[in-house]
């Protein structure tokens, strides 16, 4: 029976040099935990050159096979149904039965779901401007991966039976060459990246206020309890977005950083602090963020701000709304009676903000169920509002442009049944010379327009100001 091959490599505190070595291959991606700051994320993951890529195009789901069809799949126009079927095939392969479950990803599906992938889950309006050329969703089927386990200080190249001997030898050679170059201090210099202008919003202060008042009217009419209203900030650039990613990574450490190169001139640069869903040996976990306040300029001011957030009745109420929404979402697919909330209103601190974070848990009893839980819960309630469907309808009505990768998810579904995913907030999309990022906040009945408007700038400022300071000449 074929089995996976585990090749021990020297421990890598960062997989960025390895990413540089393999990024010339198709669809490279790095899930990059910034582990020194955040104990919840213990692994870094690196992939490239998928066996297949699954993505929708013009109302059809395309599977671009690299060499040959590994699985015969049903004909469907819904990519989520096709991915459910594909993942069931993957986890039923004989070689996956004895695969280690202490590794997060041993090969399988990895990629992103844009926010508009929610249209494959529910019937929703679509009246926004679509001016970003990224696929609505794109997942690769990867036959090898590099995984670093930071607590164990180990790095391994994992080769699945899908991967040819020629390819595995080629990847190992590239990685070994990179290690020797590092020892000789011949690291590759960063490529050029330049912004052409400052970031500008797709909403003026007055237009934001008008949309804010429309949300408040919907809330007062009983349509909804909370709506996440977001602005988009855009600029133009030339050069290598990976250089921008590395700069932001240095100044904005987050537990769910990721870089996905989609084409020579398209990439996702994510610096998300928020987990969407984790599946660890059948245990499902979600950690929604709702409640934000700026960091203080002095230790005393910083503690005062943190205490203010922890005591805020408004922020706690918002957080509880989303916890209830997620309990309902997970209840659609998790085992009856397994939904629990082990943590409410915990404080988590990042470079520019403090957040309130809660934890919701459930359980599944089959390895192929993780992808069903993900699809039935998508998109995350913390970035829509409540009730979810009505909030998404209002978002479509009020936001002028598509969200694209923003408020979607970067996710992997491993062949061993493990899964982890982020909510793609604090995320930029580089698209053919244009670069976009977004920031929003949950509006409720007692929200104050000026405070909510300013909060969007607080959330996005570390990204935009860093890029403007370093790369705008």
How would you label 81-101 residue by residue, b for 16+ Cβ within 10 Å and e otherwise? Answer: ebbbbbbbebbebebbeebee
Asked about 376 being catalytic, the answer comes back as no
CATH number for the domain spanning 160: value is 3.60.120.10
Predicted confidence at residue 186, as pLDDT, reads: 46
**What is the distance of C-alpha 126 from the center of its chain?**
22
- Is it the case that residue 184 has pLDDT exceeding 60? no
CB atoms within 10 A of CB 377: 27
Query: Across-strand partners of 273?
Result: none
Res 248: pLDDT: 96
The DSSP-derived string for 103-162 is SS-SSEEEEEE-GGGGGGTS-----SB----S-SEEEEEESEEEEEETTTTEEEEEE-TT
Quick one: tokens of 359?
């934890």
| Least confidently predicted of 60-64, 194-198, 222-226, 420-424 | 60-64
Q: How far is CA 196 from CA 192, 241, 469, in A?
A: 13, 13, 12
The whole domain housing 230 covers 5-471
**Model pTM score:** 0.94
- Is position 287 annotated as part of the catalytic site? no
pLDDT confidence of 152, banded at 50, 70, 90?
very high
Banded pLDDT at 229 (limits 50, 70, 90) = very high
Cβ partners under 8 Å of residue 441, min gap 6: 228, 229, 230, 292, 447, 452, 455, 456, 459
Q: Report how many domains make up the chain.
A: 1
Q: What is the pLDDT of residue 51?
A: 95
Percentage of the chain beyond pLDDT 70 is 96
Q: In 3-state terms, what secondary structure has residue 245?
A: helix
Res 183: pLDDT: 53
How would you write 451-465 as a 3-class SS string?
A: HHHHHHHHHHHHHHH
Residue 106 to residue 7: CA distance in whole angstroms: 12
Upstream peptide bond of 424 is cis (omega within 30 degrees of 0): no
Q: How far is CA 75 from CA 81, 83, 87, in A?
A: 10, 12, 15
User: What's residue 61's pLDDT?
Assistant: 81
- Cα distances (Å, whole numbers) of residue 157 to 99, 149, 160, 339: 14, 12, 10, 36
Q: What is the mean pLDDT of residues 7-13?
A: 95
Q: What is the mean pLDDT of residues 193-218?
A: 97
Stated as kind and residue range, the H or E segment containing 88 is helix 79-91
Catalytic residue among 211, 287, 290, 388, which?
A: 290
pLDDT at 473 over 80: no
SS3 content of the chain, % helix, strand, coil (to 5): 35, 30, 35
Asked if the model's pLDDT at residue 211 lies above 50, the reply is yes
Q: What is d(CA 63, CA 439) in angstroms, rounded to the nearest whole number?
A: 32
Lowest mean per-residue pLDDT among 120-129, 266-275, 345-354: 345-354
387-394, Cβ contacts within 8 angstroms, sequence gap of 24 or more: 387/224, 387/225, 387/325, 388/325, 388/329, 389/122, 389/124, 390/223, 390/224, 391/224, 391/226, 391/227, 391/228, 392/118, 392/122, 392/124, 393/124, 393/125, 394/214, 394/215, 394/218, 394/223, 394/224, 394/227
Catalytic residue among 116, 211, 274, 318: 274
Residue 185 reports pLDDT greater than 70: no
Other CB atoms within 10 A of residue 248 CB: 23
Lowest mean pLDDT among 56-60, 206-210, 279-283, 446-450: 56-60
Task: Output b/e per residue, 121-146; b: 16+ Cβ within 10 A.
Answer: beeeeeebeeebebbbbbbbbbbbbb
pLDDT number for residue 337 = 94
Rounded to an integer, what distance in angstroms lies between the CA atom of residue 381 and that of residue 289? 10
Who wins on pLDDT, 185 or 449? 449
């Amino acid at each position: 029976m074929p089995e996976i091959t585990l090749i021990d490599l020297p421990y890598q505190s960062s997989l960025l040099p390895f990413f540089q070595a393999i990024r010339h291959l198709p669809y490279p991606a790095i899930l990059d935990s910034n582990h020194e700051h955040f104990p919840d994320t213990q692994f870094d993951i690196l992939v490239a050159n998928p066996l297949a890529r699954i993505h929708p195009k013009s109302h059809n789901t395309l599977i671009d096979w690299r060499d040959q069809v590994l699985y015969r799949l049903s004909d469907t126009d819904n990519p989520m149904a096709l991915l459910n079927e594909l993942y069931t095939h993957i986890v039923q392969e004989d070689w996956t039965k004895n695969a280690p479950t202490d590794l997060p990803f041993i090969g399988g599906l990895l990629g992103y779901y844009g926010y508009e992938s929610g249209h494959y889950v529910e019937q929703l309006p679509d009246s926004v401007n679509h001016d970003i050329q990224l696929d609505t969703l794109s997942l690769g089927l990867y036959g090898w991966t590099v995984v670093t386990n930071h607590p164990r200080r180990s790095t391994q190249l994992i080769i699945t039976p899908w991967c040819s001997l020629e390819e595995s030898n080629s990847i190992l050679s590239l990685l070994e060459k990179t290690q020797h170059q590092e020892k000789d201090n011949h690291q590759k210099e960063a490529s050029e990246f330049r912004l052409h202008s400052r970031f500008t919003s797709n909403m003026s202060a007055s237009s934001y206020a008008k949309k804010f008042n429309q949300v408040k009217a919907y809330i007062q009419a009983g349509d909804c309890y909370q709506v996440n209203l977001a602005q988009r900030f855009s600029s133009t650039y030339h050069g290598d977005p990976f250089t921008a990613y590395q700069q932001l990574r240095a100044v904005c450490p987050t537990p769910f950083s990721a870089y996905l190169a989609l084409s020579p001139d398209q990439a996702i640069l994510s610096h998300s602090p928020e987990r969407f869903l984790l599946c660890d040996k059948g245990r499902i976990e979600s950690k929604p963020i709702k409640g934000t306040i700026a960091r203080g300029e002095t230790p005393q001011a910083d503690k005062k701000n943190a205490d203010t957030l922890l005591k805020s009745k408004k922020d706690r109420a918002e957080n509880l709304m989303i916890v209830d929404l997620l309990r309902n979402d997970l209840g659609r697919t998790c085992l009856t009676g397994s939904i629990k909330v082990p943590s409410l209103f915990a404080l988590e601190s990042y470079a520019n903000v403090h957040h309130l974070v809660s934890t919701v848990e459930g359980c599944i009893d089959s390895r192929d169920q993780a992808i069903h839980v993900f699809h039935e819960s998508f998109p995350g309630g913390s970035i829509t509002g409540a009730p979810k469907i009505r909030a998404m309808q209002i978002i479509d009505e009020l936001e002028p442009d598509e969200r694209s990768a923003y408020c979607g998810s970067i996710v992997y579904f491993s062949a061993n049944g493990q899964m982890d995913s982020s909510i793609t907030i604090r995320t930029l999309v580089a698209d053919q010379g244009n670069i976009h990022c977004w920031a929003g906040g949950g509006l409720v009945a007692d929200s104050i327009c000026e405070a909510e408007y300013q909060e969007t700038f607080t959330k996005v400022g570390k990204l935009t100001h860093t890029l403007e300071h370093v790369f705008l000449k």
